[in-house]
Structure 1
Amino acid sequence: MGNQKSLSTKDALKFAKKAEETGDKEKAQKYFEAILTTYPDNEDAVIGIRRLNPNSLFRSDIDELKELFKESKFWEVEVKCKNYLERYPEVQELYSLLGLVMGIKGAHSEALSHFKKAAEITPLNASVQFNLGNAFKFTGNNKLALQSFMQAINIDPKYVPALSNAGLILMVEKKYDAALELFTAAAHLMPDSVEVLCNVAGALREKGEYEIAIHHYHKAIELDATNAQVFLDMAMCEKLNDNPAEAKNIYELITTEDPLNTDAHNSFGNFLKETGELEEAISHYERAIELEPTNPAPVNNLGILYRDDGQDDKAEEVFELAREKFREAKKVH
């Protein structure tokens, strides 16, 4: 049976080449296409099709660009996409890939332009709408970003990244019920995603449903106990739930297990300041500053602590030190 197929393919190639030689391109194309229907990777047939259509863009060309993108060869992708677009200005994938490359380069306005064009060509593609939403978000237009994310969800209700990103914008707009609805839908689709579970927990926390939020943080920790931010968010939730002792236990755990975590020391300092444990708060702020001298948060928090405690001279000393460090960092960059 294998030999029969091989002979059949050889015969088809022979007839295709003969038709090509006699100028019957249509007949040759049919033979090559017939081979590719059964053997889509047949190199001779692929070359034959390309030879008959020297000015056409093929799926394999797009696949090659996507592979280059996966390999982080962004400059090559950019150059090839621009060259192809001069000949094929209506190919959505070229605009989408070029938009992704521009976004990685930080040229978000240019990325937005390419994603808009991709959406004009294929408006009912969820990935295209998602990319467009991200481009709007990066350029500061949350309203249009949300519209694009919702359009992606309408096209594909199971598109978790769009559900998540739309929910995050609604969180910024303090529309917590609507955000929770989207996050919950995402959690049903991806129940083992730490990020999705934390989004649900964050919306619940903002709604004041602390117990349920804490439950979701625990589920996230069961999946990944190495994510310090989840512990920090849960500690804040415990504090809001009138359980400062448990919150303090969590902060102590994180700063012990992850002693180089600047955010953990800064957050613990904030907590200790609120509970009146100023010496301990100062210690954690100073540790955070030591770890990351140009981070403005712990420096400002330490200065505010001294100011609120009536130690204006110390506060000004800290603020001046912060200004000096920022000036030094600016010179370096």
Structure 2
Amino acid sequence: MGSTEKDVENEIVRDSVDGQVLVKEEPLSGSGNSSGKTSSERKNALSYANILRSRNKFVDAVAVYESVFERDGENVEAYIGKGICLQMQNLGRHAYESFAEAVRLEPQNASALTHCGILCKDEGRLVEAAEMYQKALKADPSYKLAAECLAIVLTDLGTSLKLAGNSQEGIQKYYEAIKIDPHYAPAYYNLGVVHSEMMQYDTALNFYERAAVERPMYAEAYCNMGVIYKNREDLESAVACYDRCLAVSPNFEIAKNNMAIALTDLGTKVKLEGDINQGVAYYKKLFAIIGTMLMPWVLYKDRENLDKAVECYKIALSIKPNFTQSLNNLGVVYTVQGKMDAAASMIEKAIVANPTYAEAYNNLGVTYL
């Protein structure tokens, strides 16, 4: 399983100005206060460019940043702002040049270093990106964006190492990511994946749970917890985990299929223990979640578990005795098992339930071959 990565928002300068912002341009003069006027004009232009950028008017903003350079060719903030605008226009190389110039002028500028790192990561240069983020944090340990970005790239590096067969080195990168950003959920999730693969399931559960704490909408973490509980035959806990998963991601097909299997097994378990009503309740929940169109045959055919498929169809028929598809599909399974009389009986019932169900007539013909 790969890592899951969150988006990094560009820094923007927001304002509370409504309507059009006008900047009054005045010619430079040789008067004694010319320096003050130039400084004021430069600040006004820079503020205006930042406002344009915050409103996604990137082309206009770049033009204003260029006007700032005409007065001050070493304005670091303008180079950063211009770089962000170019980056948002997918002009990565030119954006990097602008950020790099800001770094040249101010080597300890955490924002410029971080944006250089973001562009390195976008190009797949993860090691260089990590180095840039580390320099940014060295310049400003409190710079949150750099910490978040470093945690992301360390996690990606960890996954690359793991996929290359270097699991221990990958684990180390995940731990480094957590040290940098203790709230970065994908690092915990990937640690859960690694420990699951190493069959260290208690440790894996702890990491999945922490991932879910940091990111309550983390459907994959809930799903993987459910798998561990299901394999331990703790069906109630498995169902609870799949419930949480589907609550945040209702169309998560893997979780829906896993839930179907867990509910089927749980319903059968409590039914055999004598609690028929509770068993039926679990079966009804199964169909409420996955819908009556889902055919358990699909779930179990790849597992070559025809008996389990038969059980699922019988469950469906205990809830809806004239359910055409279940009657037909049960007949198909009986055909595969060589029980031709039982197969013909089920398919004939399907035809009685729905005389226009062409597939049933076709399957009935197979039983007479």
Q: What's the CA shift for 1:270?
A: 0.8
**Is 1:117 matched up with 2:170?**
no
**Is 1:155 matched up with 2:169?**
no
TM-score normalised by L of structure 1: 0.56
* Residue aligning to 2:68: 49
Answer yes or no: is the 8 Å Cα contact 1:272–1:281 preserved in 2: no
What is the number of residues matched between the two proteins? 255
* Residue aligning to 1:280: 333
Q: What's the CA shift for 1:136?
A: 3.6
**Residues 78-117 of structure 1 aligned to structure 2 (within 5 Å):** 79-80=93-94, 83=97, 91-102=113-124, 111-117=125-131
* Residue aligning to 1:171: 196
* Residue aligning to 2:293: 257
* Residue aligning to 2:82: 61
Unaligned 5+ runs, structure 1: 103-110, 284-333
Task: Measure, in 1, the Cα distance between the counterparts of 2:252 and 2:31.
Answer: 65
Answer yes or no: is the 8 Å Cα contact 1:153–1:163 preserved in 2: yes
Larger relative contact order (C-alpha < 8 A, sep ≥ 6)?
Answer: 2
**Residues 1-333 of structure 1 aligned to structure 2 (within 5 Å):** 10=24, 14=26, 18=28, 28-29=38-39, 32-33=42-43, 36=46, 40-41=50-51, 46-51=65-70, 52-53=72-73, 58-68=79-89, 73=90, 76-77=91-92, 79-80=93-94, 83=97, 91-102=113-124, 111-122=125-136, 125-139=147-161, 140=163, 141-206=166-231, 209-238=234-263, 243=268, 257=293, 265=298, 267-270=300-303, 272-273=305-306, 275=308, 280=333
Q: What's the CA shift for 1:213?
A: 1.9
Q: What's the CA shift for 1:272?
A: 2.0
Q: For 2:303, give the aligned amino acid.
A: N
Work out which of the two has the higher radius of gyration on C-alpha atoms and give 1 or 2. 2
Change (3 A) 1:83 1:195: same
Q: Which one has a larger percent helix, Structure 1 or Structure 2?
A: 1
Answer yes or no: is the 8 Å Cα contact 1:129–1:152 preserved in 2: yes
Task: Measure, in 1, the Cα distance between the counterparts of 2:291 and 2:302.
Answer: 11
Q: For 2:194, give the aligned amino acid.
A: I
Unaligned 5+ runs, structure 2: 1-16, 53-60, 108-112, 142-146, 272-278, 311-329, 337-369
Deviations 1:218-276 (A, max 9, x none): 2323444332211222244457769479899959x8696367x9xx8364431624759
Change (3 A) 1:46 1:185: same
SS of the residue corresponding to residue 250 of structure 2 reads coil
TM-score normalised by L of structure 2: 0.51
Change (3 A) 1:58 1:267: farther
Change (3 A) 1:256 1:240: closer
